[in-house]
Amino acid sequence: MARMYSRNKGKSKSTKPLEPNTGWIRYKPAEVESLVLKLAKTGIKPSKIGLILRDSYGIPDVKLTTKKSITKILEQNKIVYNLPEDLSFLVKKQISALKHFETNKHDMTAKRGLQLTSSKINRLIRYYKKAKKLPADWKYDQSKAKLLVED
């Protein structure tokens, strides 16, 4: 299948093993969950939590050890974020593209990137409304995007 906005085909990447061997991990599932909660309470996003657990604690995949993803662990313990993580990253990207485009009015490549990012945001919002992760009456306003993303 081709990429969405270019005519490139797929890219090769590393894949996880079919039968994961987690016998060498020294943490129990309850300990991994407590580590995830401890890191989340300090304000770290779920993707960053996974990186910290991999690099500092030697836990290759939280889902292999706990049978739950990081976001499911956070949801069960009532730690929620106002926006899903991928949507907030796209909003940050759009904010930086808008800032760049304000100072460089004739940068048409930046304008195209801004259009693509906006369409990705709208598509993702449509998906999250359908999946009931965002309220049905939730509206995204590009001018008030900075208020949505805290950082």
Over residues 8-60, the pLDDT tens digits come to 777 777 777 667 777 778 889 999 999 999 999 998 999 999 999 989 998 88
Of the pLDDT bands very low, low, confident and very high (cuts 50, 70, 90), residue 151 is low
User: Structurally, what CATH architecture does the domain formed by 85-148 represent?
Assistant: Orthogonal Bundle (1.10)
Is residue 68 within 8 Å of residue 30, measured between CB atoms?
no
How far is Cα 61 from Cα 22, in angstroms, rounded to an integer? 9
Q: Which pair of structure tokens corresponds to residue 128?
A: 């999250």
Domain boundaries, the chain: 29-76, 85-148
